[in-house]
């Protein structure tokens, strides 16, 4: 999939904590090895029991739009041709405590609505250091 945002738009900064999430090509969430809580974004500490050890579990990639915003004002020159665009907050079907931000890439922003089912789709982009970054985006389900 080509990028939804303009070519050259910033990529996430990859570090040891988020590398699996942004490079695996799978929708992975952290699961605490002590209490089983799942969480996103990846963090050092479990939100529930404060343990610091995690496994990665793969989510189905299906969810629903929990909330969204339509961006009309280009906050950067690179976005002048991109606006209007939607930014959606997706609640995962199999891990409803988790919500992930992204773009709904195949739907006109005027058709975005809370409750619409979506599925994950990955954009593959080569980072500055040559590492492939897989950005979770969303398509109508």
Which residues lie near Zn ion (CB under 5 A)? 32, 34-35, 37, 46, 48-49, 51
Stated length of the chain:
141
Nearest to 6 by CA among 67, 56, 113, 78: 78
Q: CB of 49: closest distance to Zn ion in angstroms?
A: 3
Q: Among residues 67 and 97, whose Cβ is nearest to Zn ion?
A: 97
Contact, 92 vs 59, CB < 8 A? yes
Residue 30: CB minimum distance to Zn ion, A: 10
Residue 65's alpha-carbon distances to 81, 91, 99, 104, in angstroms, are 25, 6, 9, 9
Least CB distance to Zn ion at residue 39 (A): 9
Q: Give whichever of 36 and 84 is closer to Zn ion, judged by the CB atom.
A: 36
Q: Which two tokens stand for residue 10?
A: 């910033």
| Nearer CB in complex with Zn ion: 48/106 | 48
């Amino acid at each position: 999939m080509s990028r939804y945002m303009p070519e050259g738009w910033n990529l996430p900064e990859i570090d040891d904590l988020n590398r699996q999430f942004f490079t695996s090509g799978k929708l992975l969430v952290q699961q605490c090895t002590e209490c089983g809580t799942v969480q996103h974004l990846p963090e050092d500490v479990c939100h529930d029991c404060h343990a610091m050890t995690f496994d990665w579990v793969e989510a189905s990639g299906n969810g629903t739009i929990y909330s969204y915003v339509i961006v009309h004002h280009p906050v950067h020159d690179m976005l002048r041709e991109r606006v209007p665009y939607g930014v959606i907050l997706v609640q995962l079907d199999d891990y409803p405590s988790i919500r992930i931000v992204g773009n709904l890439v195949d739907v006109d922003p005027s058709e975005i609505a809370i409750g619409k089912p979506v599925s994950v789709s990955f954009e593959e982009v080569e980072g500055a250091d040559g590492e492939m970054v897989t950005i979770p985006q969303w398509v109508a389900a």
